[in-house]
């Protein structure tokens, strides 16, 4: 990245696809613009150094998924349409990806690694290691690495091997003849996936203070010639292939979705190749050889100045024991009203709003655990989208089933990249007698619902948890989300109706409070937007504030354009991709869009409609995307308590509209501009404000307090 491209600089414009209407910005280019904002964090000197490295790894992980899903999908659609040329948007996306990745490695090599070395964390190349370290590396190679390697010399009996998605590999060009007198010139070498990618060198061998490390790729590079006795290595390069990783099953044909997915997971590693990464010094004829092998267009070749698998540099962070180079520890606060008491008794008096990660997720875990152990609880029902490989909450559901309670779990097997974990949980739950269903064929169940039915004084009482985020023990510490524990009869009974709908597949009853996709959610959002427009046309104040991960649905965007034209003031907080063009004369003068990239991943979905001072507030699992509104099971739920409405406004919306530290403003051409305090403004970070508000945070004026994290 050039010197003039400081963190406060304008992020390059994301131009609309020339073939698309000028009403909308392009989804893929907007998604890449989000990664440009994340990358700016890696260059920000206010952020602790190891966290800046983590940002670089996050960008790589995001780009992996971008190619695995978005690029792969566009290419697949192009083939279905019979178009031999790549879609124009892919050409534009390729240009931006190359710029983004070049800047990413530039930041790594010119800033992050030198500054880490100055701080005593050295990532050594072969030529930088001393004699003792080279001897140790050679011994390590012989003991730990070489036995696991299987070089493949290519000939008719040794065809090009299967290359696993995103694995580290080497292509080697050899001179001379092989043991059988043949001139096999190319060999392929796979790096063992079981070995760490970052290796710590013994401290006793170091010439410097601090930690000295090397990459597995560097170890193999240093000794690749040892694998080909009697041959000269003319050239070699590491390489990595990214493949289409979207799973597909014919849901109308399969009889058991879980069994079909288990089979499909095996093929994910060998989907259609969509990107090739090689080292920057890879000879052109070798990179072309690989492109031909994988049938990849040359514009999806990335020659990188560093490790091709930058995601794995996150292992370096774990080797560095320097707290000053990390974010200060933040401990979520436990809600005082739930401390030490009967949770069900508390909920009978009032709803409890939880704001993660500023408040602990433990009350939700306790909610299910208490229900599992309570003899008065008869049934527990829950949706699971992402929960991870280890989960106390899931263990509690298993315990509840073992104790004879009616346990119903709607497990979404098609949650991308969590399919295997969810299959394992579904299997364990079924083995103990829980009723497990996989949602609705053709639609992902993305709603976040948990329901407990308890017998009290001879009657059944309903308790529910409704949320915006997943029941995942790790992400609840890293993502901002809201959840509500409630004993409100109307809300809880409607949640039960949704569970009945998901298990029986019958048409859901008309719900008075909850908005349910794909039936009413989009209609209700449009109705609420149009209601604000009608209020504005009548000459009364009208306001919409909405916070979400992505805004892409054209029907919602058109409704927002119309409402803004009628005089509704609209403020949107959209973390990632946004297709709406704000601030365009004659189209969207009354609409602003901003994105917050902070220490925590902004994940809450909040929708506020002024509605003549009724102040309607809804929380939801859904973004304003076509897939969420029409192809998923999603829920939006109202906040009925006035005090809780004020909390959501004061914690989830207003601070983000005030933020001038981690906020980026979107203009009508698709460019994002970083917000900065003016001469009359004090510096303000929404996330830091909330960390301080809930305690366990450093003082606001500390530089590290402005540090941020993205995904």
Question: What positions carry a catalytic annotation?
Answer: 446
Measured in Å, how far apart are the chain's first and last C-alpha atoms? 20
Give the strand pairing for 233-243 and 169-174.
Answer: antiparallel
The string of DSSP letters for 95-118 reads HHHHHHHHHHHHHIIIIIHHHHHH
- List strand residue ranges (DSSP E) for 335-414, in order: 352-356, 377-384, 406-411
The candidate with the shortest Cα–Cα distance to 415, out of 193, 624, 257, 550, is: 257
Burial of 68 (0-12, 13-18, 19+ CB in 10 A): buried
CA pseudo-torsion sign 573, 579, 582, 586: negative
Look-up: residue for tokens 């403003």?
A: 665
Residues 6+ apart with CB under 8 A from 219: 137, 140, 141, 145, 199
Alpha-carbon distance values, 29 to 90, 279, 666 (Å):
9, 26, 13
- List strand residue ranges (DSSP E) for 528-581, in order: 543-548, 569-574
- Separation of alpha carbons 405 and 461, rounded Å: 15
Total count of residues recorded for the chain: 711
Would you say 268 and 299 are in contact if contact means Cβ atoms under 8 Å apart?
no
Phi, psi of 296 (to 5 degrees): -110, 135
Phi, psi of 516 (to 5 degrees): -120, 125
The candidate with the shortest Cα–Cα distance to 422, out of 258, 266, 268, is: 258
C-alpha torsion 538→541→546→550, nearest 10: 50
Q: Which long-range contacts (CB under 8 A, 24 or more apart) does 89-95 make?
A: 89/17, 89/26, 89/28, 89/29, 90/28, 91/299, 92/15, 92/17, 92/26, 92/29, 93/28, 93/29, 93/32, 94/299, 94/300
The candidate with the shortest Cα–Cα distance to 548, out of 647, 473, 609, 480, is: 480
């Amino acid at each position: 990245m050039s010197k003039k491209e400081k963190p406060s600089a304008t992020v390059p414009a994301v131009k609309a696809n020339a073939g698309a209407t000028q009403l909308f910005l392009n989804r893929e280019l907007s998604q890449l613009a989000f990664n440009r904002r994340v990358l700016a964090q890696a260059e920000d000197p206010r952020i602790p150094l190891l966290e800046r490295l983590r940002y670089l790894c996050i960008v790589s992980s995001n780009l992996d998924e971008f190619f695995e899903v978005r690029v792969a999908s566009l290419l697949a659609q192009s083939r279905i349409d019979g178009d031999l040329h790549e879609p124009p948007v892919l050409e534009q996306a390729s240009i931006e990806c190359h710029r983004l990745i070049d800047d990413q490695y530039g930041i790594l090599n010119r800033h992050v690694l030198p500054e880490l070395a100055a701080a005593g964390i050295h990532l050594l190349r072969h030529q930088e290691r001393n004699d003792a370290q080279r001897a140790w590396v050679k011994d390590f190679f012989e003991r730990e690495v070489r036995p696991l390697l299987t070089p493949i010399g290519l000939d008719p009996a040794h065809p090009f091997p299967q290359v696993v998605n995103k694995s580290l590999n080497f292509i080697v060009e050899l001179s001379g003849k092989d043991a059988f007198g043949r001139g096999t010139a190319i060999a392929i070498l796979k790096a063992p996936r079981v070995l760490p990618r970052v290796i710590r060198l013994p401290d006793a061998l170091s010439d410097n203070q601090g930690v000295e490390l090397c990459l597995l790729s560097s170890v193999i590079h240093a000794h690749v010639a040892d694998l080909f006795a009697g041959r000269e290595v003319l050239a070699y390069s590491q390489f990595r292939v990214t493949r289409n990783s979207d799973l597909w099953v014919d849901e109308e044909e399969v009889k058991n979705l879980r069994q079909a997915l288990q089979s499909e997971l095996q093929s994910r590693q060998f989907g259609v190749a969509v990107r090739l990464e090689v080292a920057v010094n890879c000879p052109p004829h070798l990179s072309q050889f690989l492109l031909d092998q994988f049938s990849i267009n040359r514009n999806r070749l990335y020659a990188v100045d560093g490790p091709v698998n930058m995601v794995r540099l996150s292992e370096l962070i774990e080797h560095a024991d320097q707290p000053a180079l990390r974010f200060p520890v933040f401990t979520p606060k436990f809600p005082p009203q739930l401390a030490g008491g009967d949770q069900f008794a508390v909920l009978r008096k009032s709803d409890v709003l939880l704001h993660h990660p500023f408040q602990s997720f433990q009350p939700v875990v306790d909610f299910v655990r208490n229900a599992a152990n309570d003899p008065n609880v008869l049934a527990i029902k829950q949706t699971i989208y992402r929960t991870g490989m280890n989960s106390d909450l899931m263990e509690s559901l298993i315990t509840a089933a073992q104790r004879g309670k009616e346990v119903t779990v709607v497990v979404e097997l098609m949650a991308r990249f969590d399919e295997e974990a969810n299959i394992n949980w579904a299997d364990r739950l079924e083995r103990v007698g829980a009723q497990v269903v996989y949602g609705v064929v053709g639609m992902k169940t993305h709603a976040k619902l948990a329901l407990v039915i308890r017998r009290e004084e001879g009657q059944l009482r309903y308790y529910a948890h409704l949320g915006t985020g997943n029941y995942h023990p790790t992400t609840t510490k890293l993502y901002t989300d809201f959840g509500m524990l409630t004993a409100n009869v109307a809300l809880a009974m409607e949640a039960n109706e949704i569970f009945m709908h998901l298990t029986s597949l019958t048409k859901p009853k008309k719900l008075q409070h909850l908005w349910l996709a794909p039936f009413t959610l989009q209609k209700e959002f449009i109705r609420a937007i149009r209601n604000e427009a009608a209020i504005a046309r009548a000459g009364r104040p009208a306001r919409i504030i909405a916070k979400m991960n992505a805004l892409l649905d054209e029907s919602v965007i058109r409704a927002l354009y119309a409402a803004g034209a009628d005089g509704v003031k609209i403020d949107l907080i959209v973390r990632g991709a946004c297709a709406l063009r704000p601030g365009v004369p004659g189209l969207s003068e009354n609409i602003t869009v901003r994105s917050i990239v902070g220490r925590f991943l902004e994940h809450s979905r909040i929708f506020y409609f002024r509605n003549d001072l009724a102040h309607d507030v809804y929380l939801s699992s859904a973004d304003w995307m076509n897939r969420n509104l029409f192809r998923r099971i999603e829920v939006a739920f109202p906040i009925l308590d006035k005090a809780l409405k004020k909390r959501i406004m004061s914690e989830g919306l207003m601070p983000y509209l005030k933020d001038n530290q981690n906020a980026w403003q979107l203009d009508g051409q698709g460019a994002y501009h970083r917000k900065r305090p003016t001469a009359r403004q004090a510096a303000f970070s929404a996330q830091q404000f909330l960390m301080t508000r809930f305690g366990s945070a450093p003082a606001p004026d500390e530089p590290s307090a402005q540090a941020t994290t993205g995904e």
